[in-house]
């Protein structure tokens, strides 16, 4: 493997790490902002607005980020408090928001499967044991399910990034037999383009 290829691979990996770090920072920043807006709305007694902002905070998934946990806690607290005061429409809306946040934060895995199960169970109970998706239930907030374009972007970006990196490594094995520097460059560009597409899809662009 040539020194040029080693430097290129190192630069590509470093750039990928940087892109993912920037994406995580941007999502975390957005989630913290939404949580702060939810706090302000909650303190002002604007519970429906607090629910919407809490949903966005919980959906801005970054592993270990406190705004995600606090967003889900806010939604559960509003739902249970509303049921205690017999405000069932607000309780349903809060459980739907919690369910939507769990679905929106689903990427290649489901990090909030337990929250989704709880929301489905509570919505079924509040609907008189009807499924959460029954027509009589309050509709979930817009954007609850990830769009086909977003899912496609995540899959395409991951495929290009990983495929490009593997192709670059495999081409280098034949450097002594057949010059493949141009193909390696193309593979590395594919890797970087894939990382950019994946990042844009993760941000919901």
The closest of 86, 69, 81 to 31, measured between CA atoms, is 69
My answer on whether 131 and 30 are in the same domain is: yes
Give dist(CA 205, CA 201) in Å, integer: 6
Give dist(CA 85, CA 76) in Å, integer: 14
Domain boundary residue, one of 115, 143, 171: 143
pTM of the model: 0.58
My answer on whether 164 and 135 are in the same domain is: no
Q: Total domain count for the chain?
A: 2
My answer on whether 188 and 104 are in the same domain is: no
Residue 88 belongs to domain spanning: 26-143
My answer on whether 69 and 132 are in the same domain is: yes
Q: What pLDDT score was predicted for residue 180?
A: 56
3-state secondary structure the chain: CCHHHHHHHHHHHHHHHHHHHHHHHHHHHHHHHHHHHHHHHHHCCCHHHHHHHHHHHHHCCCCCCHHHHHHHHHHHHHHHHHHHCCCHHHHHHHHHHHHHHHHHCCCCCCCCHHHHHHHHHHHHHHCCCCCCCCCCCCCCCCCCCCCHHHHHHHHHHHHHHHHHHHHHHHHHCCCCCCCCHHHHHHHHHHHHHHHHHHHHHHCCC
My answer on whether 53 and 75 are in the same domain is: yes
My answer on whether 158 and 127 are in the same domain is: no
Residue 121 token pair: 């169970």
Give dist(CA 58, CA 54) in Å, integer: 6
Give dist(CA 155, CA 161) in Å, integer: 10
Give dist(CA 61, CA 201) in Å, integer: 13
List the chain pLDDT tens, one digit each, 205 residues. Answer: 455 665 666 666 667 767 777 777 888 889 999 999 999 999 999 999 999 999 999 988 877 788 989 999 999 999 999 999 999 999 999 999 999 998 887 665 566 778 888 888 998 888 874 444 433 333 333 333 445 565 566 566 666 666 666 666 665 544 444 455 676 667 667 766 766 776 666 555 4
């Amino acid at each position: 493997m040539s020194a040029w290829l080693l430097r290129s691979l190192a630069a590509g990996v470093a750039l990928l790490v940087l892109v993912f770090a920037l994406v995580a920072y941007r999502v975390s920043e957005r989630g913290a902002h939404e949580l702060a807006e939810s706090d302000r709305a909650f303190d002002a007694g604007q519970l429906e607005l607090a629910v919407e902002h809490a949903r966005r905070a919980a959906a801005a998934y970054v592993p270990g980020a406190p705004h995600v946990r606090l967003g889900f806690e806010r939604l559960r607290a509003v739902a249970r408090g509303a049921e205690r005061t017999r405000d069932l429409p607000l309780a349903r809306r809060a459980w739907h928001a919690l369910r939507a946040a769990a679905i929106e934060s689903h990427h290649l895995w489901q990090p909030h499967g337990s929250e989704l199960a709880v929301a489905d169970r509570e919505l079924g109970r509040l609907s008189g044991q009807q499924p959460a998706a029954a027509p009589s239930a309050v509709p979930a907030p817009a954007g609850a399910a990830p769009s086909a374009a977003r899912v496609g972007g995540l899959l395409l970006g991951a495929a290009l990034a990983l495929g490009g990196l593997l192709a670059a490594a495999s081409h280098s094995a034949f450097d002594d037999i057949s010059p493949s520097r141009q193909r390696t460059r193309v593979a590395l560009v594919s890797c970087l383009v894939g990382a950019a597409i994946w990042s844009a899809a993760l941000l919901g662009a």
